């Protein structure tokens, strides 16, 4: 357990240093700078800190890196490069969709897919494709305000880390320890008012990592098949936000992936223009969903029932508030 704490701390320290260096470099060179003058080098800082710390941790502890994890890292680096170009060139919607279809299909060609044993292999492939595309875009949709995507990602990461430790999965525990330390360091720079942004490169990267790594966890047992829902519960808020966006845009006869101001967070800000208070409310809802995902690992127990009830009620409260934002 101490090893993972040390990894978290080291990742945090390296993340602070790298993000500070990249920020200074961006401000001096005009590289990775947004129209508002804020550097969007956060995605690069997150990825470099995360990978360096995780690989070093494995080397020191003599942990061999399996192919499916290496495959995730390779494709994560490719995605980072693609999305940096998107940050710079601003791809059209059709271009983004085509790139994502090709990218995810290539990843699944050799990558590990979902392994739900009571459904056919082809359906596991289809569900894996939809899961990766959906979660990747869900985190990109969350990157609409300072501190939102970074804070939600940290809570999601900590939830997956806890589940990994409970299940004794040393590979995933190491990955999420490193990622959470880096996300905390990024949040220091990104919490309102933001001094650095993650850009499309960072939000897509985080969504891809959560989507792929969550498929590799061993959640369910014969005694507790409901634990299979742990990733769905942990990622509930990004999924609900994306579902809400899709419904609102379809009602307006818009393409769901096209940009508009239909996010739960933006509607809440239009009602209560205090970004930090709304952020804390969203963090609390995400935490409740995360705790629900953690306790479902132990089956239907009082803690799970309490947290899932609070998570549902808190989410409904946020949605009902939006009735007054129109």
> Among the listed ranges 100-109, 181-190, 205-214, 260-269, which one has the minimum average pLDDT value?
260-269
- Distance, first Cα to last Cα, the chain: 48
8 Å CB contact between 212 and 111: yes
Whether cis (ω within 30° of 0) applies to the bond prior to 224 is no
pLDDT value at residue 94 = 87
The Cα–Cα gap between 14 and 303 comes to 36
Structure tokens at 46: 């997150």
**Which of 95-104, 185-194, 257-266, 306-315 shows the lowest mean pLDDT across its residues?**
257-266
* Cβ–Cβ under 8 Å, residues 46 and 202: yes
- For residue 92, count CB atoms less than 10 angstroms from its CB and return exposed for 0-12, middle for 13-18, buried for 19 or more: exposed
Residue with tokens 């966006």: 245
pTM: 0.93
């Amino acid at each position: 357990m101490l090893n993972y704490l040390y990894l978290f701390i080291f990742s945090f320290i390296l993340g602070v240093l790298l993000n500070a260096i990249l920020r200074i470099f961006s401000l001096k060179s005009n590289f990775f700078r947004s129209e508002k003058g804020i550097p969007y080098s956060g995605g690069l800082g997150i990825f470099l800190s995360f990978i360096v710390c995780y690989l070093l941790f494995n080397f020191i502890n003599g942990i061999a890196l399996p192919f499916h994890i290496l495959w995730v890292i390779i494709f994560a680096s490719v995605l980072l490069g693609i999305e940096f170009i998107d940050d710079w060139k601003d791809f059209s919607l059709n271009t983004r969709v085509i790139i994502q279809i090709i990218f995810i299909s290539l990843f699944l060609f050799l990558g590990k897919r979902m392994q739900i044993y009571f459904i056919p292999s082809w359906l596991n492939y289809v569900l894996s494709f939809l899961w990766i595309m959906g979660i990747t875009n869900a985190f990109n949709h969350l990157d609409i305000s300072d501190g939102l995507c970074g804070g939600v990602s940290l809570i999601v990461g900590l939830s997956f880390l806890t589940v990994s430790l409970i299940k004794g999965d040393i590979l995933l525990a190491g990955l999420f320890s490193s990622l959470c330390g880096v996300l905390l360091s990024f949040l220091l720079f990104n919490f309102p008012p933001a001094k650095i942004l993650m850009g499309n490169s960072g939000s897509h990267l985080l969504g891809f990592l959560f989507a792929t790594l969550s498929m590799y966890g061993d959640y369910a047992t014969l005694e507790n098949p409901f634990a299979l829902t742990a990733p769905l519960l942990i990622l509930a808020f990004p999924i609900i936000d994306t579902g809400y966006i899709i419904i609102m845009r379809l009602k307006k006869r818009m393409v769901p992936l096209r940009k508009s101001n239909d996010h739960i967070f933006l509607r809440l800000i239009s009602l209560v223009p205090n970004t930090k208070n709304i952020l804390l409310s969203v963090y609390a809802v995400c935490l409740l969903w995360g705790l629900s995902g953690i306790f479902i690992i132990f089956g239907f127990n009082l803690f799970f029932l309490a947290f899932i009830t609070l998570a549902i009620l808190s989410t409904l409260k946020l949605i009902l508030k939006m009735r007054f934002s129109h």
